[in-house]
């Protein structure tokens, strides 16, 4: 089947009185379908809608224009109930063990990496929806500090130290120059 609309006169229809021409027929190409959203864009849209729903369900509801970092922190803590990452309490015998041998009653939380990515998407969505970067409640120092605390706490509790990744240097081609780069990195 063809997606093109055909200009064929039919009896009893309300078509125009002009006969179809070849030029008109070639101009009536189907409209291109909008590109599907990327995974990132889909997640960002879903996260933005979830945060908006959270604010609407707040008692009393909070308009986005009055949202501040406290609402963001409440939202992040609210999301912990849906987490899948076991974070051992200091009183747990498995505290600091990356692979505990038995189950325990410690709570499940949102993983630090998930929260960090979520905040990045929400910060971008806020600005896309007309918010300014200066008033962005997702980009403030309090939120960065909270994420840093979650990262350190989860790292200690799970026995997984988070280390900052070193940036890779651009490789310079050539036998003489690669020796220089090696000597510089060794110093």
| Tens-digit pLDDT profile for residues 78-108 | 999 999 988 889 999 988 888 888 999 999 9
* 186 in any annotated domain: no
| Tens-digit pLDDT profile for residues 41-83 | 999 999 999 999 999 998 899 998 899 999 999 999 999 999 9
pTM higher than the cut 0.75:
no
Q: How many domains does the chain have?
A: 1
State the pLDDT at residue 99: 83
Of 79, 162, 161, 63, the C-alpha closest to 119 is: 79
Determine contact, residues 69/129, Cβ cutoff 8 Å.
no
What tokens were used for 125?
């969505």
Of 54, 24, 58, the C-alpha closest to 118 is: 54
* 133 in any annotated domain: yes
State the pLDDT at residue 91: 92
Could you tell me the pLDDT band of residue 5, with boundaries at 50, 70 and 90? very low
What tokens were used for 117?
């990515």
* 176 in any annotated domain: no
Average of per-residue pLDDT across 162-171: 67
Q: Among residues of the chain, what percentage have pLDDT more than 70?
A: 69
Judged on CB neighbours under 10 Å (0-12, 13-18, 19+), 72 is buried
By residue range, what is the domain housing residue 83? 39-158
């Amino acid at each position: 089947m063809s997606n093109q609309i055909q200009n064929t006169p039919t009896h009893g229809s309300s078509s125009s009185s002009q006969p179809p021409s070849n030029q008109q027929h070639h101009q009536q190409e189907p409209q291109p379908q909008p590109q599907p959203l990327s995974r990132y864009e889909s997640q960002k849209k879903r996260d933005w809608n979830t945060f908006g729903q959270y604010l609407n369900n707040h008692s009393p509801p909070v308009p986005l224009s009055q949202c501040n970092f406290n609402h963001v922190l409440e939202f992040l803590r609210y999301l912990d109930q849906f987490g899948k990452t076991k974070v051992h309490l200091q009183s747990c015998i498995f505290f600091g063990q990356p692979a505990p041998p038995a189950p325990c009653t410690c709570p499940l939380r949102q993983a630090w990496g998930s929260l960090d990515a979520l905040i990045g998407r929400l910060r971008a969505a806020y600005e896309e929806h007309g918010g300014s970067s200066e008033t962005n409640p997702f980009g403030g120092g309090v939120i960065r500090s909270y994420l840093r605390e979650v990262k350190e706490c989860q790292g200690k509790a799970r026995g997984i130290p988070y280390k900052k990744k070193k940036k890779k240097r651009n490789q310079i081609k050539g036998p003489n120059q690669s020796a220089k780069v090696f000597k510089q990195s060794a110093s």
